[in-house]
Structures are given as C-alpha cells and as structure tokens.
Amino acid sequence: MASTRKSILVVEDDSLLRMAAVDLVEEAGYDVVEAADAVQAIAILQGDADIALVFSDIDMPGGMDGIRLVAFIHERWPRIQTILTSGKFATAPDSLSADSLFFTKPYVESKLVEAFRKMIA
C-alpha cells in the first residue's frame, strides 16, 4: 500500500508557509518531503527516487531560486513534475519553463490539490 503512494517535495524557505504546505500535501493523501532551499532539495532528489512532484517557492536564499531549480530538475529528472509559487508575480514569469505550473501567493489550496491530482495521476 505504502509503495503505491506518491511523494511530493515541498521547497519553501519560510518555515510557517512550509508547515502549511506540508499539512496540505498530507491531507491530500500524498507522502511529503520538505526542503528549505534549492540545495537541500537537490540533495533530497539525488537520494530519493520516489518523488513524483516538486512544489517550490521561487524566491529563496542560497543563490538558486525556484526557477533555476525546476530548470535543473527538468534536465536531470525529466519525469518529475514541478509547480512553482511566488508572491512576486501575479501570473507565471516569462522565464519559467512551460512544463511547470505557477500559482501566485497566497494560493487557493483546493486549486493546488486539483493540480497535484492531474499531474501525478
């Protein structure tokens, strides 16, 4: 049973927002892994083959933002789905890959869960 569950990696530098996102993912019925920045996220992805989707903030410290993170993921692990979020943009920034979904902050939780279901059915 546990092996059929899909994992989602939440990447968010703000701990409170990360906590809320983690709760959301769990309540939606997925396994959840969390990271506070892009470097941590990549370390986790290298060691865990079961992650199906990465849900990441765009604006993060540490020299690599969410846009560059998903670009890296698409190249390295093309099968992993990606969703980005940011309060900086009302709509998806131009530099974002067309393969990623974008939600402006604050995101509507039900819409996000809907996107999870579609992308990792």
Pick the closer one to other proteins by CB: 99 or 114.
Answer: 114
Site string for other proteins, 88-117 (x = CB under 8 A): x-x-------------xxxxxx--------
Cβ at position 96, least distance to other proteins in Å: 16
Phi, psi of 68 (to 5 degrees): -70, -30
Residues 117 and 121: their CA atoms lie apart, in Å, by 5
Site stretch for other proteins (CB under 8 A), options 16-24, 47-55, 61-69, 71-79: 16-24
Beta-carbon contacts of residue 13 (< 8 Å; ≥ 6 apart)? 36, 37, 57, 59, 60, 61
* Position 28 contacts other proteins (CB under 8 A): no
Site string for other proteins, 52-91 (x = CB under 8 A): -------x---------------------------xx-x-
Sheet holding 101-104, edge to edge: 31-35, 7-11, 51-57, 81-86, 101-104
Omega before residue 106 within 30° of 0, cis: yes
Footprint of other proteins (CB under 8 A): 14, 16-17, 19-20, 23-24, 59, 87-88, 90, 104-109
